[in-house]
Amino acid sequence: MRAEPPIPGPCYVDERSGATYPIDEPRWRGDDGAPLTVSALPGISREEVDTGDRSLWRYRAALPVRLDAPVSLGEGCTPLVEKDWGGNRVHFKLEWFSPTGSFKDRGTSVMISALRRHGIREVIEDSSGNGGSSVSAYCAAAGIRARILVPEGTSPAKVLQSRAYGAQVQVVPGDRDATAAEALRQSEHTYYASHNWHPFFLQGVKTLAYELWEDLGFTAPDAVVTVAGAGSTVLGCDLGFSELLAAGRISRRPRLLVAQPAHCAPLQASFAAGTEDPVPFEYAPTIAEGTAIRRPVRHPEVLRAIRRSGGDMAAVPEDAIVAAVRRLAAMGLYAEPTSATAAAAIDLFRARGAIRPGETTAVVLTGSGLKAAGTMAALFAPEGGDPR
């Protein structure tokens, strides 16, 4: 249903139909089932960054509503480390320094803060690991009950982390898509705090763009390399850099260079086909479990963001992901395979000219190797021996 007349000030927007909804409603999707975003915001200046707050909440002036009592565990302000990668200098953004070990804490902090403001007392979330442990932690901090649905085969370390925070964990038979379907069914009775659906999650992730801008002396990188499953880092960077561009704080958007594992690359398949619609692709299990999403909720929006930036996509073979995990560890960076997929794509993008000599490239490493302890143990076990 289209809201008429348009709602003044920030509101929820269904980009597919043009429908708008009041931002004070605790909704997570449109009336017709489409995902929502927040209407365009004006961005902020460097003077509006609250430098006295050492967390992502230093950028609270960029959020669409006032959240005076945020649910925060100190997320954000993660290191940006310059390293050599095959003869080129790149900046690795170490998002695993977030409280639960992944970038998801950016989105979760803002989403749970908004839900507590609405008086939500119980939520469900579906996740292959990092999103679930993040929602579990912030619900614990907020005094909100959480039930986390995970696909069978999820990393035991991630399941353990959610349970440690006090969340109820429900293992769903089947793959990631089966888990999402079950969460949608349960959302008829319990509020769905989905990191893939909720528009305020993206408002939190956009602080990654603001933080890179501040890290680099209030300038934008030329390119940002990241990995995509559902694509929240892509959409968050698009939101943040678009706001900075609109505010006149940067002169152009960074190119968004986005990697998916070749075994599960629905976004890359559509990108290569020159369409926003899903196209057939071959699926196989991947070591990068956090990206094993065959039908991303925001499929066309993610592709639109990449193209708007003049960016590119790459499908990364499994052996290249494994090699990148080892290569990162050899330089002191312990990244889980999902995260290392972005690093593995650096060479592919450089060979195509999407990463150029002399430019500033930021590579987002989304999660710690500690989140995939079993997989990492297998990769680093001594020849024929026990990894201990």
10 Å CB burial of residue 198 (0-12, 13-18, 19+) is: buried
pLDDT reported for residue 6: 54
DSSP, collapsed to helix, strand or coil, labels residue 88 as strand
pLDDT reported for residue 1: 40
pLDDT reported for residue 212: 98
DSSP H helical ranges for the chain:
104-117, 130-142, 156-164, 176-186, 199-205, 207-215, 232-246, 266-273, 299-308, 318-330, 337-352, 373-380
pLDDT reported for residue 9: 83
> Phi/psi of residue 211, each to 5°?
-70, -40
pLDDT reported for residue 383: 67
302/355 Cα distance (integer angstroms): 20
40/26 Cα distance (integer angstroms): 19
**Count of CB atoms situated within 10 Å of the CB of 67:** 19
130/119 Cα distance (integer angstroms): 25
10 Å CB burial of residue 42 (0-12, 13-18, 19+) is: exposed
Strands 37-38, 168-172: parallel, antiparallel or unpaired by DSSP?
Answer: unpaired
Structure tokens at 24: 């004070």
Structure tokens at 308: 């708007």
294/367 Cα distance (integer angstroms): 20
pLDDT in tens, 336-362: 999 999 999 999 999 999 999 999 999
Is there a contact between 364 and 91 (Cβ–Cβ < 8 Å)?
no
List of the chain residues with pLDDT < 70: 1-8, 383-388
Inter-axis angle of helices 130-142 and 156-164, nearest 10: 10
109/70 Cα distance (integer angstroms): 7
